[in-house]
Amino acid sequence: MKIYYVFQNQSKKQELNGKYLWSPQKKSTGENDLGYTNMSKVQKGDIIFHGANQETYAISIAQSDCYEAEQPEELKNLKPDQIWNNKGYMVDCDYNLLTPPLDMRQHRDWLKEHKLKGGPFNSKGGGNQRYLSEIDLKHAKYLLTKIKHNEKFNKTKAFIHALLTETLDYDLDYDNDELDKINKSLEVNDKNNELIEPEGPEKIKLAISNNTGIPRPKRDSEKAKKALQNANYKCENETDHILFLRKNGLYEYTEPHHLIPLSKFKDFKFSLDVTANIVSLCSHCHNLLHYGRLEDKTVILEKLYNKRKNQLSKKGIFLSFEQLLNYYK
């Protein structure tokens, strides 16, 4: 899943009413344009912030992958003197209007301090002259938090809350309910009820969020439990890390972690929720991967990658260490 910010100063009314985004494929000069190239990369389920007239006025979830489409008639009438390539890119969108819109002028100082290379905002905190730009998790969380604080309608506020908790934080592995289920299951020493995982690649299983409509890969708590068992309840970064015993006194406490984040499922043909991709970590190492410095993460990730790359390949999952490291930046 990617997150984008679109500027619709001229085309807001037409695109909002039509529930879409549209851009040319190239500039009128025939040259490439980063904003238009970004349009070609949008996929179903991506999050899009909509801006116009110095306000963020809506958030949408892409309802389709980008596809080629001719310029809609209603857009041709905006600037008859402007020569636009009639061949363009279109994305279907489900607009969620904000009440009130977020006044971006009040956030220029923060945007200046957190300027994003290739992003939608310039060094002064204003908007760049670009139709669509990708933004990072930090910018998305900042905007959503401010929007949620101001939003008047409970339904929209619930939608924004779900984006923050269900979607943007989805890489934080298992939620509390799932961890409770795993931990309670491990407190029962039932070796006759162990998971038997199929050999070879597994299909991706998706669940649609009731709050956002965004498809997410399902997580199987039994696979997490099996991964901890396979590691003999040790930290796979350093097996001599000091651990404490679980309540039943039978097993040491470690936590399951998807080495390749589940949110990157669109980059792969097969499921990432497999024991080959779930590592057992002590609480310290687990939190370091989520919240630590990149230079500290790199050492652990390289060790885990080298341990697991052969197992991953047997499940149809292939990636370089550089690609894995990029997911943690």
Q: Residues 26-81: pLDDT tens digits?
A: 887 888 999 999 999 999 989 999 999 999 999 999 999 999 999 998 888 776 55
Q: Which portions of the chain are predicted below pLDDT 50?
A: none
Residue 194 near residue 249, CB atoms below 8 Å: no
Q: Can you give the residue ranges of every domain in the chain?
A: 3-167, 176-327
pLDDT for 189 equals: 60
Backbone φ, ψ for residue 99 (5° rounding): -130, 105
HSE (side-chain half, CA atoms, 13 Å) at 165: 11
- CA distances 115 to 37, 49, 52, Å, are 21, 17, 19
Output the CA torsion 281→142→166→176 (10° steps): 40
Residue 66 near residue 44, CB atoms below 8 Å: no
E-strand ranges in 104-231 read 132-135, 206-208, 215-217
E-strand ranges in 225-311 read 255-258, 278-281
**What sign has the CA pseudo-torsion 95, 101, 103, 108?**
negative
Hey, how many other C-beta atoms are within 10 angstroms of the C-beta on 163?
Answer: 25
Q: Where does residue 118 fall: left (phi above 0), alpha (psi -120 to 50 degrees), or beta otherwise?
A: left
pLDDT for 109 equals: 95
**CATH level 2 (architecture), domain 3-167:** Roll (3.10)
| 280 strand-pairing partners | 256
pTM over 0.95: no
Cα-to-chain-centroid distance, residue 244: 33
pLDDT for 212 equals: 78
pLDDT for 49 equals: 98
pLDDT for 84 equals: 60
CA terminus-to-terminus distance, the chain:
15
pLDDT for 94 equals: 93
pLDDT for 29 equals: 81
100 upstream amide cis, omega within 30 of 0: yes
Place of tokens 């406490």: 253
**Which token pair is 155?**
């339904």
Q: What is the 3-state secondary structure (H, E, C) of 297-312?
A: HHHHHHHHHHHHHHHH
pLDDT for 81 equals: 52
**Which token pair is 54?**
């110095």
Residue 148 near residue 56, CB atoms below 8 Å: no
The per-residue DSSP string of 317-329 comes to ----HHHHHHHT-
Kindly give the pairing relationship between strand 87-103 and strand 55-62.
antiparallel
283 CB-contact burial (10 Å; exposed 0-12 / middle 13-18 / buried 19+) = middle
